[in-house]
Amino acid sequence: MFSLAEIATLLGAPPPVGADAIPARAVHDSRKIQQGDLFVAIRGARVDGHAYLDEALARGACGAIVADASRAPDESAGLIVVDDTVAALQQVASAWRNRLPGHVVGLTGSYGKTTTRTLLAHLLRRSRSVFETPANYNTEIGLPMALLSMTPEDEVGVFELGTERPGEIGLLASIVRPSTGILTGVGPSHLDGFESLDAIADEKWTLIDRLDADAIAFVNADSPQLLARSLSAECDVRTVGLDAGSVRGEIEASVPALIVRLLEPPLRLETRLLGEHNAVNVLLAVACALEFGASAQEIEEAAESYRPPAHRLQALSAPFGTMLDDTYNANPASMRAALHVLTSYGAPGAQRVFVFGDMLGLGEGSDCFHREIATFAQSLGVDRILPAGARAANACRGLRGSDNALLQVADQAETLREMLRGDDNVVLIKGSRALALDELVEQLLPPGG
């Protein structure tokens, strides 16, 4: 990263004491500060980072970007004082992008972003130095922090771009300035910030609009909104899909492991992913890896050794059978996909149970979306539906095989233990991240599981 002196110059701030220090990372959570980090004090809706300046410096931060130096302990070194710390962070990250000679891949979509990002990075690491967005650092704060951790020695950077309201993809794209773009798909998510599916598609497509004319984009051809927009793109768009596209594949198996065949060049991609919905994510990652020069053998071997991120539709062994842990997040499209996996996983006579967590951020149509998912689960023949949120409970009222009571995590665990007999049950647990259903998963796993 830049030295503190260089950061101050970029931001038009006075050089701080200890200006020669070069931070290891930029961090906005004082609890995560390590020796040599740069702390960015951000004023949020509920928390003001300036209240934790003393803690960050005590933990070893070599400096801090602040808007109010009076909140720091007396004689603190490394303070860079600005009017707006978020804008300053973005400005520094944008300037750092100019120092990075490697290729940068920008990736967005309503679903499949993290799976596609982590798989692509895994495919490329066989022969290249790859940096990828850590965890969910895909926001106006997280992405610039991630970018500042990429080094000039990294040959490829893979960055995830998220959005909850119009304009955010354009802002993030202007900071990270990708040379390659990937769009995974469009679906109903964050509808509390967007008026329609078309508005979401427009926002996601901003990533492609921001690419240079000589850039390459990989777009999900099975997403009608994206396929239509690809016809007028100014850069080279490779459409990728099962039903349409210039890069095509077909599914050999979807459970207990997803196996996808790429038609040209012919590749057989055996993965530990689950479900047909992940097939296009695999094809997008593979198509991009081929463009970067990865060999067929590298890709097939890497696909087989790839491990999905935690809490993203993972099949876990439990005392009662199989638990499908998909607790990281939820929207209607991912709910439907996970339910398809639930009803096809395991032996034909297995009892299938759906722990139905609320889907947040769906705006005025939230009740309708929850009702649709409840009735969809029933239509697929799910044996029991256990709502794990007020919206889900309301949607389940009157449905056969559903419980209407809203239970806390501990109660859900006990209810499931009483409900599940034998070891041939399949249980899907899915809901938005704020419901913390990952805690339920932990309670249901055997000790050390």
pLDDT of residue 419: 85
pLDDT of residue 403: 64
pLDDT of residue 414: 85
pLDDT of residue 406: 61
Last residue of a domain, which of 20, 51, 84? 84
Q: Is residue 95 part of a domain?
A: no
Question: Model-level pTM?
Answer: 0.91
Is residue 223 domain-shared with residue 125, that is, in the same domain?
Answer: yes
Q: Pick the closest to residue 173 from 158, 182, 161, 184 (CA basis).
A: 161
Is residue 271 domain-shared with residue 139, that is, in the same domain?
Answer: yes
Count up the domains in the chain and report the number. Answer: 3
Amino acid present at 60: G
pLDDT along the chain (449 residues), means of 10: 96 92 96 96 93 95 94 87 97 98 96 94 95 92 97 97 92 97 85 78 94 95 91 92 95 96 96 96 98 96 94 94 94 94 93 94 90 95 91 86 63 84 93 92 82
In contact, 33 and 59? CB cutoff 8 Å: yes
Is residue 173 domain-shared with residue 206, that is, in the same domain?
Answer: yes
Structure tokens, 405: 């009571």
pLDDT of residue 411: 76
pLDDT of residue 404: 58
Is residue 252 domain-shared with residue 173, that is, in the same domain?
Answer: yes
* Beta sheet of 259-262, edge-to-edge order: 130-132, 156-160, 103-108, 180-183, 216-220, 236-241, 247-253, 259-262, 267-270
**CA distance from start to end of the chain:** 40
Is residue 135 domain-shared with residue 237, that is, in the same domain?
Answer: yes
Last residue of a domain, which of 305, 322, 341? 305
Q: Is residue 93 part of a domain?
A: no
Is residue 364 domain-shared with residue 386, that is, in the same domain?
Answer: yes
Last residue of a domain, which of 264, 280, 305? 305
Report the number of secondary-structure helices (H) and strands (E) in the chain: 15, 18
pLDDT of residue 363: 86
Is residue 357 domain-shared with residue 375, that is, in the same domain?
Answer: yes
Is residue 195 domain-shared with residue 64, that is, in the same domain?
Answer: no
pLDDT of residue 408: 65
* CA–CA gap between residue 118 and residue 65 (Å, rounded): 31
Domain CATH for 12: 3.40.1390.10
pLDDT of residue 165: 87
Q: Is residue 94 part of a domain?
A: no
Is residue 326 domain-shared with residue 217, that is, in the same domain?
Answer: no
Domain CATH for 137: 3.40.1190.10
Domain that holds residue 205: 100-305
Q: Parallel, antiparallel, or unpaired for β 384-388 and 352-357?
A: parallel
